[in-house]
């Protein structure tokens, strides 16, 4: 990851500050604790390899999760556990990776959460008070943010952010515990209130700025292209996981990440060599076009 981060061509694709994450459905043979039957994706049952992709088209994390658990539960794990030279400041997901609590946690941790929301025109926006004028956005700004709840528990929110930052608790464990309560506790309500404030600010920026929407969409497309590469590389047992133990399944997911990054690095190095040769032979190379070159191609790879 660090070697790829410093390659000149990688710098053309991004600075290593933006990333995205998405789940990849993998069928499982036999019974496994995390595997679930989902006829839409699997003939029998399966699980999800959830992976994190940088804007330089390298993958800095992966995790085996149940296929029925919402992606938002795990979206922060690899970002907080990142040991590479990448400095992740902004992260994108699709709709499955978003909740109000995730918006709150990202902001408390000093990062920007930027999901691509489905049916964004139906999303509810929030005001700080009923006296705040919304003008033409009034039909969408139907909610009121409970400022008093946020202020009363602000110290608790900061303490939570510190615990996540220092690794005293994983984000997925904390979020799953909150979801397990039969009734929402006061910290959950405070997180949701703060998350609605951050989500409203994000959505206004998202709706107003076309370039910002394209940037998020381009990053998510990078993750999709690497998923196609991962599907191509996952050839053992015809792409079916036969290991039953969670540790063995995690090892397979990590090995797939390793091989994926190896292909990405190989492509990046040799694409740079081709560009250098073209320049040496006097052929014009437009620097702006290099953004659209991808190291996720695999037609030349023998699996």
Tens of pLDDT, residue by residue over 167-224, are 999 999 999 888 777 667 889 999 999 999 999 999 999 989 999 999 999 999 999 9
Lowest mean pLDDT among 31-40, 196-205, 246-255: 31-40
Query: What average pLDDT score do residues 8-20 get?
Result: 94
Lowest mean pLDDT among 192-196, 235-239, 288-292: 235-239
Q: What percentage of the chain exceeds 90 in pLDDT?
A: 62
Residue with tokens 């926006």: 125
- pLDDT-based confidence at 43, cuts 50/70/90? low
Q: Please enumerate in sequence order all residues whose Cβ is within 8 A of that of 137, keeping only pairs 6 or more positions apart, or say none.
A: 125
Phi, psi of 46 (to 5 degrees): -165, 180
* Selection from 40-49, 120-129, 288-297 with the highest mean pLDDT: 288-297
Burial of residue 241 (number of CB atoms within 10 Å: 0-12, 13-18, 19+): buried
C-alpha distance across the termini of the chain, in Å: 22
Whole-prediction pTM: 0.89
How far apart, in whole angstroms, are the C-alpha atoms of residue 47 and residue 49?
7
Number of H helices, E strands in the chain: 10, 7
Classified as helix, coil or strand, 19 is strand
Strand pairing of 90-92 and 59-66?
unpaired
How far apart, in whole angstroms, are the C-alpha atoms of residue 228 and residue 223?
9
pLDDT at 275 over 70: yes
How high is the pLDDT of residue 240? 78
Q: What is the pLDDT of residues 131-144, one digit of tens each?
A: 777 777 777 777 88
How high is the pLDDT of residue 131? 79
Query: What average pLDDT score do residues 65-88 get?
Result: 91
How far apart, in whole angstroms, are the C-alpha atoms of residue 137 and residue 116?
20
How far apart, in whole angstroms, are the C-alpha atoms of residue 152 and residue 167?
25
CB 239: neighbour CB atoms within 10 A? 13
Strand pairing of 45-54 and 59-66?
antiparallel
How high is the pLDDT of residue 93? 95
Provide the phi-psi class of 54: left if phi over 0, else alpha when psi is between -120 and 50, else beta: beta
User: Looking at residue 7, what DSSP letter applies?
Assistant: S
pLDDT at 45 over 90: no
């Amino acid at each position: 990851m660090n070697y790829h981060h410093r390659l000149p061509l990688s710098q053309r694709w991004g600075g290593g500050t933006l990333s995205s994450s998405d789940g990849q459905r993998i069928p499982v043979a036999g019974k496994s604790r995390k595997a679930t039957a989902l006829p839409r994706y699997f003939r029998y049952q399966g699980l999800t390899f959830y992976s994190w992709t940088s804007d330089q088209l390298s993958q800095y994390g992966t995790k085996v999760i149940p296929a029925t658990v919402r992606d938002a539960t795990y979206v922060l794990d690899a970002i907080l556990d990142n040991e590479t030279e990448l400095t992740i400041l902004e992260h994108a997901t699709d709709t499955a990776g978003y909740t109000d609590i995730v918006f709150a946690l990202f902001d408390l941790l000093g990062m920007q959460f930027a999901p691509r929301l489905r049916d964004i025109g139906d999303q509810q926006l929030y005001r700080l008070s009923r006296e705040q004028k919304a003008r033409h956005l009034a039909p969408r700004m139907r909610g009121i943010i409970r400022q008093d709840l946020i202020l009363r528990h602000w110290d608790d929110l900061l303490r939570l952010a510190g615990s996540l930052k220092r690794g005293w608790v994983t984000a997925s464990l904390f979020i799953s515990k909150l979801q397990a309560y039969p009734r929402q506790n006061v910290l959950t309500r405070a997180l949701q209130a703060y998350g609605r404030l951050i989500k409203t600010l994000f959505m206004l920026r998202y709706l107003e700025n076309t370039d910002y929407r394209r940037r998020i969409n381009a990053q998510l497309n990078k993750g999709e292209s690497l998923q196609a590469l991962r599907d191509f590389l996952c050839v053992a047992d015809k792409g079916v996981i036969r290991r039953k133990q969670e540790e063995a399944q995690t090892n397979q997911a990590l090995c797939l990440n390793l091989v994926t990054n190896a292909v990405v690095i190989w492509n990046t190095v040799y694409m740079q060599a081709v560009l250098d040769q073209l320049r040496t032979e006097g052929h014009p190379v437009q620097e702006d076009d290099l953004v659209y070159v991808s190291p996720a191609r695999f037609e030349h790879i023998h699996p």
